[in-house]
Amino acid sequence: MGQKIMVGTRLRKSDAPSYTLEVTEIVTPEDGLPHARTRVRLMSHDLGARLYSISALADPKLFIPD
């Protein structure tokens, strides 16, 4: 697994560097797998909130530190 994901972590998609996100909340649904609520931006456009699994965000093949 890659980097530690916590509130305030900023990432960008490894295959789309203008797609950035910031973790705003860590949630653990009833299934027990932790997820992160993120604020997503594409260049200067706010795309709103998205929910990603922590394991996906920590995968350096998918996301890199911003």
Q: How confident is the model at residue 47 (pLDDT cuts 50, 70, 90)?
A: very high
Specify whether the CB–CB gap between 19 and 33 falls below 8 A.
Answer: no
pLDDT tens-digit map of 8-29: 999 999 999 899 999 999 999 7
Can you give the pTM of this predicted structure? Answer: 0.87
- Mean pLDDT computed over 53-62: 95
pLDDT tens-digit map of 26-46: 999 787 889 999 999 999 899
Burial of residue 64, with CB atoms counted within 10 A of its CB: 0-12 exposed, 13-18 middle, 19 or more buried: middle
